[in-house]
Amino acid sequence: MSVEPYIRFEQVSFARGRQRIFDRVNLDIPRGKITAVMGPSGTGKTTLLRLIGGQIKPTRGKVWVNGLDVARARAGELLAMRRRLGFLFQNGALFTDLTAAENVAFPLREHARLPEPLLDRVVALKLNAVGMLDAAESMPSALSGGMARRVALARALALDPELMLYDEPFTGQDPINVGILLRLIASLNRALNLTSVLVSHDVAETLSIADQVIILDQAQIVAAGTPDELRARMGDIPFLQRFLQGAPPDEDSDRALAARTLLAKKLRVSV
Ligand SMILES: Nc1ncnc2c1ncn2[C@@H]1O[C@H](COP(=O)(O)OP(=O)(O)O)[C@@H](O)[C@H]1O
Ligand SMILES: [Mg+2]
């Protein structure tokens, strides 16, 4: 039996002035899985996350999140949806004047109104889940970049989200920390039965934990499938091969643009 996807894009277009960022994109993001979103810089990956969070609205088409039509939701419905959503941004900085524990407590104090002893328990659980309980009383300035990112992850998990959006969470991290964060993202997704959308440039690492991969380019989904499916198609699709092997994207010559537009048409897949 097929399960309703957690997120569905239906013919979504999004433009900023005359710039088309998405053009009639169809997309399903399955529940309980990790969906990776990759593509050249400036192609609309962050925009896609903002459409999911309802910070921006599609110019045309619909974005459904857990059955809610995000663009047409009432303020209260949108708020309830966002409470089930955890964000970890590339620059998701911690509050520098609060301890690690107080950073994690922050969204709980804003939204949950728990009695203090219970709040402490929840904070400890979240810090423990990311292996940072020992640093509970540390100030952010005393933490390494990787540790700070893990505390930010604990903070994103504070309100028990169903959906986690990661926007380039590995940027600026050394390979060891990337590995730690990857394993955390994968194990939290399983243990907490989350749905995760992971935007990342680290192709090999991301493919190692993703259930589904979406590659964006030129306002379109140019390829989509499981990591194995994409690897199997690499030979047929030079752009995909270059992209997955980490070569820098083409210069946008007219010919390259035409070739990619053709490719986008050929591969237009709704996952
Ligand atoms: N607030 C904004 N105002 C105007 N243009 C924007 C804004 N945010 C993003 N853009 C433009 O939209 C396009 C997609 O941006 P973005 O989604 O951030 O790309 P990515 O995350 O894939 O690097 C880019 O061309 C960017 O310049
Ligand atoms: Mg971005």
Last residue of a domain, one of 116, 137, 160: 160
Convert the pLDDT of each residue in 218-254 to its tens digit. 888 988 999 999 888 877 766 777 777 765 544 445 5
Domain limits for position 56: 7-84+162-267
Name the residue with tokens 């499916």: 229
Distance of CA 42 from the midpoint of ligand 2 (Å): 7
Q: Is the pLDDT of residue 265 over 70?
A: no
- The answer for residues whose C-beta is within 8 angstroms of residue 155's C-beta and 6 or more apart is 94, 103, 104, 106, 107, 126
Return residues with CB closer than 5 A to ligand 2 (ion). Answer: 45-46
Q: What is the pLDDT of the chain when averaged over all its residues?
A: 88
Do 62 and 190 fall within a single domain? yes
The residue whose CA has the least distance to atom 24 of ligand 1 is 42
Q: Please name the residue that has the structure tokens 């804003």.
A: 110
The pLDDT assigned to 58 comes to 96
Check whether residue 135 and residue 60 sit in a common domain: no
Cα 81 to ligand 1 centre (Å): 24
DSSP string, 108-176: HHHHT---HHHHHHHHHHHHHHTT-GGGTT--GGGS-HHHHHHHHHHHHTTT--SEEEEESTTTT--HH
Is 0.75 topped by the overall pTM? Answer: yes
Q: Are residues 78 and 184 in the same domain?
A: yes
Flag whether pLDDT at 51 surpasses 60. yes
Domain stops at, among 134, 160, 186: 160
DSSP code of 1? -
What is the number of structural domains in the chain?
2
CA distance 188 to 191: 5
pLDDT tier at 113, thresholds 50, 70, 90: confident
Q: Give the end of a domain, one of 142, 160, 178.
A: 160
Q: Do 163 and 66 form a contact (C-beta atoms < 8 A)?
A: yes
To test the ligand 1 pocket, which listed residue (13, 18, 21) has its Cβ within 8 A of the most ligand atoms? 21
Whether the CB-CB separation of 65 and 6 falls below 8 Å is answered with yes
